[in-house]
Amino acid sequence: MKKSLLALAVSGAFAVSAHAQSSVTLYGLIDTGIVYTNNQTGHSAWQMATSSTQNTVFGLKGSEDLGGGLHAVFKLEQGFNLNNGTQAFSGDGFGSQAWVGLQSDPYGTVTFGRQFDVVNDLLGPLSAESNTWGGNIAAHPFENDNLAADSVVVNNTVKYVSPTIAGITGEAMYSFSNAAGGFANNRVYGFSVGYSQGPVNLAAGYLQFNNPGGGVLGTNPNGAIAVKDGSANFIAERQRIWGAGGNYTFGPATVGLVWSHTQIDNMASVISLGTGNYMPLGGTLRLDNFEVNAKYALTPALTLSAAYTYTDGAYSDGATNATPGWNTVMLQTDYSLSKRTDVYLEGVYQNVHGAPAGSVLGDAMINTLSPSSTSTQVAVTVGIRHAF
């Protein structure tokens, strides 16, 4: 009897120890508000919106200590639309993120599943469009460089993240097409590197999509970049993204510069995130985004931020050549009610010029909204965010 009690006590102690070395956390973020737009498809609009700045999500994340500096890690995250309860990625149970992997303290982390890309991971946080002080509504035209918080999420991804050494972190990824006989048909690969020491943050990276959304022929629409759930921004033969940026913090102020270059070859269509519809657009499109951003903490609770992006474009479909340009301006003020709840007022202005007549490129289209019927669009949103 005593031996049995001793064995039970020992096994209980091991169970408590194992439990203490593992963790599972339920978390989430809710972002909702009212948006006024001066022109959406020819009409002004007052709308209740969700995820204007940050993605509205809930999820589970966890870690298990395997010993020797090795951990099993996972994340399951679902995005949703607060105003009507629908899925942000239609038909996906965990469309925002779904991955599992191994983390080694000395050697880095390898993860497998549906994940954000490596350029979004390291360069995104240096852009206003990836942060609470700007966010999704402040994205570059057509969200062409995947830097916003609502960016493309990539299927079938193997990602490696290095440990941080002397402030330097590197990432690399490969996303399989999962198509029999079509290894390169709708695949993704890329790499990035970041540096963070004291007030200085720098990052750069490269990303390539082959036949995103199945490409012009649509032969593998749900490979690495899926069509059915709205993950794709462009349907094309190839999309390549280069980018670099940095910011510097001094006292309550942070200023930053970001450049990104997007090259889209042999397009079939571009997607309007606001409407979810595909708009036919053939040819090739090159976009260079030049962003300057700044934020300033007036008090620990009150922050002002601004960003200006000039997007220089070049378009050709053989018969038509054009050099469209976009001016996008964002202003925001944010007030923290607590560590987990804040309210914000944000305005975004976009104007496009030089686009081909009658082309979707000629209509201003602020991210998350339906396109304007003219070359100019203005949106103002007042919202509340709560993290848990």
Asked if residue 13 is part of any domain, the answer here is no
Matching residue, tokens 């079938």: 156
Neighbouring CB atoms inside 10 A of 21's CB total 13
Supply the pLDDT for residue 356.
87
Asked if residue 363 is part of any domain, the answer here is yes
- Residue 188's contacts (CB-CB under 8 Å, 6 or more residues apart) are 117, 154, 157, 173, 174, 175, 207, 208, 209, 210, 212, 224, 225
Supply the pLDDT for residue 280.
82
Determine the Cα–Cα distance for residues 101 and 71; give it in Å rounded to an integer: 8
Asked if residue 339 is part of any domain, the answer here is yes
- Regions of the chain where pLDDT drops below 70: 1-20, 273-277
Domain ranges, residue 324: 33-387
Neighbouring CB atoms inside 10 A of 200's CB total 12
Angle at 206 between CA 326 and CA 291, to 5 degrees: 30
Matching residue, tokens 């200023």: 255
Supply the pLDDT for residue 275.
62
Domain count, the chain: 1
247 in Cβ contact with 201 (< 8 Å): yes
Asked if residue 11 is part of any domain, the answer here is no
For residue 319, give Cα distances in angstroms to 264, 282, 284, 322, 353. Answer: 17, 11, 12, 10, 19
For residue 140, give Cα distances in angstroms to 160, 221, 240, 329. Answer: 27, 25, 16, 10
For residue 149, give Cα distances in angstroms to 74, 129, 139, 240, 363. Answer: 20, 7, 9, 19, 23
Asked if residue 382 is part of any domain, the answer here is yes
Supply the pLDDT for residue 348.
98
Q: Which 3 state secondary structure label does DSSP give 388?
A: coil
Asked if residue 221 is part of any domain, the answer here is yes
Supply the pLDDT for residue 360.
85
Asked if residue 5 is part of any domain, the answer here is no
pLDDT tens-digit map of 183-225:
999 999 999 999 999 999 999 999 999 999 999 989 999 999 9
168 in Cβ contact with 194 (< 8 Å): yes
Neighbouring CB atoms inside 10 A of 26's CB total 10
Asked if residue 310 is part of any domain, the answer here is yes
Instruction: Output the domain CATH number for residue 93.
Output: 2.40.160.10
